[in-house]
Amino acid sequence: ALILLCSSAAAVVVWKWLGKRQIHKKMEEARRTRDEGVKKMAKAVQQFREQVPSVQMDAILSLPLLELTGRLREGSLSPKTVLYTYLEKALEVTQQTNCLRHFIPECEEQLQEIQRQREKGLLYGIPVSIKDHICHKGHLSTCGLVQCLGTVVQEDSVLVKVLKRQGAIPFAMTNVPQSLFNYDCSNPIFGQTLNPFNHQKSPGGSSGGEGALIAGGGSILGIGSDIGGSIRLPSSFCGLCGLKPTAERLSAWHTCLLNVDMCSCPTPVPCALGPMARDVDSLALCMKALLCQEMFRLDPTVPPIPFNEEVYSSSASLRVGYYDTDGYFPLPPCMRRAVQETKEALQAAGHQLVAFSPPRIHYVMTELFLKTFFADGGRAWLDVFTGGIVDPSLQSQVNCCKIPRLGKKLLALILKPLQFLLLLLLKLKNVAMISTCRSVKEMWNHHHEIEAYRTEFIARWRELQLDVVLCPVLGPAFTTGYPGKLLTAISSTMLYNVLNFPAGVVPVSTVTEADEEELKLYQGCCDDPWDRMLKQAVAGAVGLPVAVQCVALPWQEELCLRLMKEVETLSCEK
């Protein structure tokens, strides 16, 4: 019996070893395929440079999107020249930041296809980068997970089809954090993406590859996704403009292969796809191009609402609600400074500013947002980590989800009496995840609570007769490794995912020496370990971008962009 037991144990060990070996082979193969693709693209770029040595690369890269589209449409620049210029720059940026997951070699075929189209679309000849999990035919959609490495996508996502119909050329897929559930940008397969302005810093996430590539100059327009800040946080960290639309405004069909994918599963806090670029006009043009009959035809669940140019171009004064803290996770001094300076600039420009306070953020964060994703205690999420391969940036969250339900209940019981003193149930991510839905009835109640909160929030908005809201966004860029330890610091962005309001980010300033000095006095809520950790995460950021967030009511993307444009214009005049 003892021999049989030992043999069984040995067999289990060998089986596990073989499984891990197979997983590592898959990961090595994926990296090898990526590296070979980079070499092939570098060779193609070199051949183009030899054929057309007179290309003024810097001049092309410096053109804003609106000017570039004009030059392409009139024929003074060729789509091929623009594509290879951005391919060359993307090669340079990814060498420095590891922002690309894969080049799309079919971009050459799309280049030929747009020249056969009878009408030039709004994005004619524009190279576009897309986030890893937005499906492109013939390529993987990995989400940084081993389980997705063997399945090649059979069909373009609706968004990619519409981009191509409008003349855009998808040329690269960008890196993401493992499982997308992190606002750093690291996974065990393709590694850590770095911020192009400071390689000690994160580009944000989960659209971090997009943030690094665009900020580094290797793409002029990118498509990301956002379920807690995943467009807005990389935009904040990398000094970009990014828009999270109302979730259903753009199609999210065919955006991932995961069983737990937040972009394809029905959830009360939905995922939104949206554009990222260097300026607000680029976002507006992208939205205008995507909100076309082709999208409404391909995805009948998208409301057929074309882009309202009149609202975006209006010069009427706005009634703007504002706040510089939500009272949950106080942000660094430079981010609050940015809101105050922007508020004063808007006031001076003739807009009406009204103090606004979002209700019950502690409740929203713990009972509405985190409970949506960890309703089952995180079991479905844990299932995606094949073979136990977990990126270090996610390890603390994974460990927490592995605590048995009885252990979580005991922790909750012990800590609950202390919450009014220590706010532990409100800020500690490990305890926040304890909140689960224990029955179908409780899940339905949870959905109802989210709808009730939306109603309450809109009622407060309308009481003040607001058009839009100006508020802070998390930043400046965190040092790599810190985002995974501070999940609940994203309250400034996640609020508008719970509400499903359009929200965008605009850079308005940079971190100054005075900001860095003031940070030394930062105590947050109660100078607890998480406040001190935030202080460490953002330290050493002098010169890095500082942004603000602009928000509108659902389906009012054009109004949100209008405020963003006004903020951008005023910040440029400073």
CA 120 to chain centre: 30
Contact status, residue 196 vs residue 215, Cβ threshold 8 Å: yes
Q: Which residues neighbour 37 within 8 Å (Cβ) at sequence distance 6 or greater?
A: 102, 103, 105
CB burial of residue 454 (10 Å; 0-12, 13-18, 19+): middle
Does the annotation flag 228 for ligand binding?
yes
Residue 219 labeled ligand binder: no
Distance CA 193, CA 248 (A): 29
For residue 287, give the 3-state DSSP assignment.
helix
Cβ within 8 Å of residue 268, ≥6 positions away: 372, 446, 447, 450, 451
> Which residue is listed with tokens 């103090």?
355
Evaluate whether 384 touches 146 at the Cβ level (below 8 Å): no
Q: Which residues are catalytic?
A: 131, 206, 230
Burial 212-230 (b: 16+ CB within 10 A, else e): bbbbbbbbbbbbbbbbbbb
Q: Which residues contact 334 (CB under 8 A, 6 or more apart)?
A: 475, 476, 509, 511, 512, 515, 518, 519, 541, 546
Opening angle at CA 233, ends 566 and 94, nearest 5: 110
Q: Are strands 186-187 and 221-226 parallel, antiparallel or unpaired?
A: unpaired
Q: How far apart are the first and last CA of the chain?
A: 81
Report the DSSP beta bridge partners of residue 319: 352
Alpha-carbon span 438 to 450, nearest angstrom = 17
Q: Using CA atoms, how far apart are residues 21 and 38, in angstroms rounded to an integer?
A: 26
Is 60 annotated as contributing to ligand binding? Answer: no
On whether 227 is known to bind a ligand per the annotation, the reply is yes
Cis check for the bond before 206: say yes or no (omega within 30 of 0).
yes
Binding-site positions for substrate? 180, 206, 227-230
Binding-site positions? 180, 206, 227-230
